[in-house]
Amino acid sequence: MTQPIYLSLVFHNHQPVGNFDFVNEHGYRSAYLPMIELLEKHPDVQIGMHFSGSLLDWLVQHQPEFLERIKALVARNQVEILTGGYYEPILTSLPDVDKLGQIRKLTDAIHRWFDTEPHGMWLAERVWEPHLAKPLAEAGVRYVIVDDTHFEAVGFDKDKELFGYFITEEQGYTLAVFPTLTHLRYFIPWRTVDDNFAWLRKQAEEELRTLQPKLVFMGDDGEKFGVWPGTYEHCWENGYMEDFFTSVEQNADWLHMTTPSAFMDHCPPLGRAYLPTASYMEMGEWALPASRAYELTTIRHELEREGDQRLLRYLRGGIWRNFMVKYDEINHMHKRALAISKRVHAMPEGKEKARALDLLWAAQSNDAYWHGVFGGIYLFHFRIANYANLIAAEVLAEGGDAPLVVRKTDMDMDGNDELVLRGDRFYMVWDLARGGALREWDYRPARYNLLNLMTRRDEGYYQDLLAAAAENRIVVVGDEQSELENIHSETVRVKERGIENYLIADWYRRGAFIDHFLREDATLEGFYRSAYPEQGDYVILPYEADWEVADNTATVHLRRDGHVWVNDQHLPIQVVKSFRLTQGEDRVHVTYTVRNQADQDMDVRFAVETALAYDGGDNLEYCAFELAGEQYSLADVAAHDDVSVYGAVTRIRDQRVEVTLSQAARLWRFPLETVTLSEAGFERGYQGTVFLQWWPLHLKPGEAWQVTLTLDVSMLA
């Protein structure tokens, strides 16, 4: 006998901070608007919807009438609006004061635009930690959505025991948790409407284990319904969603649609649940080191093919916080945000603090703080937006007073001190434990981090590309012949032929003012591919630091008494790099002193690695390398002789950096390009340009050699 059951669907709609307008417009036209139009045609269908604040801001500016249509659906109890962190942050990564602030900001916006009180919350990337129950309850949240995998990890049977909601608690604060069912997320809209309703009817026919009706619940990305490849045609042009909602109405005698809040109003929880630190299964895989991520993915797929659910339910990967171990760039940005949060919250109440808080919260947008298979930290414009907001918030927190300060502190919280300089024009961070490298160089007037680079790394999914290349299973997007040749094979799609040759992994983190001693057989190609003979011990080992600030000028000295291998001899040599900056000047002087501390003559090739991160650097229309009055692409792999002056310009950011060398050098340059997946396939992404200036030195015992690099930063007129 078929018992009435309830179906609840929640659609999460989000566009990241810093996203391009055309991407937002595409999401609106392809997914958000069609869904609202369909709901207007089916007044008996009830759903929940969540809009992140960054998307809501775009809609307010570009599609305000769309919000009025949603408001009308809310007014007739057809749509329930959920709150969340305004800029879709990973809440576990934030101080509690920012958790509360972000949620209350979105709740206030929901009051303003939809005239309703939100009770539920969308949890970004479903990243849950047990302590969250308390701040969420304090923010007025009644329920939150997590994955059924969270429940499986503590022994629940997702096929039998998760047809409802549960109560969790932290320090006496209670919160309802709804498990979104993997089955529905994988079936809708991929399986036919008939298949979905056959499964729903099966659930209705199975014996109830509780006195209350079953709730079948799904919370999923709204972009899956129109933005993902092929889904617009499937969901809207071919009528999948129309058929689905029509079937809901036709089966109303046993299938009742509801919203989470409405269900809670009439049905009690199924019981208590204390959930572990978790996210969805794929996030756990992505958070692992590359080799372990691929290993776990392989094991999971093997178990899925074998149909062994017993082991699958206990299979878990890493935790979200491990992204701050896996990617130094994520950790650096996160720790900058934590430090700035303290400064902003210490500001006196008023409009300036409110503005600074908004900038800080925008910089906490989750999209640049992790990486799965698409985008994330590798998307340049997301990183740029986050740093721009962080720098702007910090400037406001200073209240117009930015004295020149140098201090030693464990800025990135790894147990080793960094050296930090802050002035009116620049903010700089040196990694003393690893080569004395410059890791961050903010040009504060432009709110721009000139060293917003990505180091090239192995990724777990590279193994799929390498295997496909070896087995001739690669399809080049747009290459019809390749498509035909591989139509019956398990193909891997790429945007260019030979892309597997760009899977380069750096053995050290990229930055600026990294010091090298190159063996005579080192080549540009080898250095570009991070496979060259290094003679010195300077790249990743510690430097000592001292500094002085006087007359609005700061001088920072970094020193290492290290060694170089010359033939079979390990000879002592000292490198000192001295940075000089003056308030009010957009210029940095860097003087290198290389001193032979051995008791014999020494012939070496000394090199200074610098870098620059201008987005669009692979397009000569937007950015250029400048040398001797000519312009070249920043994405070239090239060598130049006898260089005394060179520069780089960006017309996107209206900036120029010019480098002057007191002694002419041989200059090597190449792009940092990463290979990642997009919806269309594997593609290269430009992440910045490396410059290596080097000189052949002959030094007698005790002899010192010097060179000064002067870097001028300017805005284009």
Measure the CA angle with vertex 32, ends 31 and 38; round to 5°. Answer: 90
The type of residue at 610 is T
Q: How far apart are CA 178 and CA 174, in angstroms?
A: 13
Report how far apart, in Å, the C-alpha atoms of 538 and of each of 98, 526, 561, 576, 717 are: 40, 19, 9, 11, 40
Please confirm, yes or no, whether 458 is among the known catalytic residues.
no
**Two structure tokens written together for 465:** 């590309």
Are 181 and 158 in contact, with CB atoms under 8 Å apart?
A: yes
Helix (H, G, I), strand (E, B) or coil at 429: strand
Are 596 and 564 in contact, with CB atoms under 8 Å apart?
A: no
Are 646 and 670 in contact, with CB atoms under 8 Å apart?
A: no
Torsion angle, alpha carbons of 17, 23, 24, 27, to 10 = -130
Instruction: Indicate the helix (H) or strand (E) that contains 13.
Output: strand 5-13
Please confirm, yes or no, whether 306 is among the known catalytic residues.
no
C-alpha 594, offset from chain centre: 39
Relative orientation angle of helices 193-205 and 240-250, to the nearest 10 degrees: 30
Q: Is 235 exposed, middle or buried (0-12, 13-18, 19+ CB in 10 A)?
A: buried
Catalytic residue (choose from 221, 243, 398, 485): 221
Q: Please state whether beta strands 514-518 and 569-582 pair in parallel, antiparallel, or not at all (unpaired).
A: unpaired
Handedness of CA 23, 27, 30, 33 (dihedral sign): negative
Catalytic residue (choose from 57, 88, 98, 125): 125
Helix (H, G, I), strand (E, B) or coil at 437: strand
Q: How far apart are CA 351 and CA 453, in angstroms?
A: 33
C-alpha 353, offset from chain centre: 26
Q: Catalytic site residues?
A: 125, 221
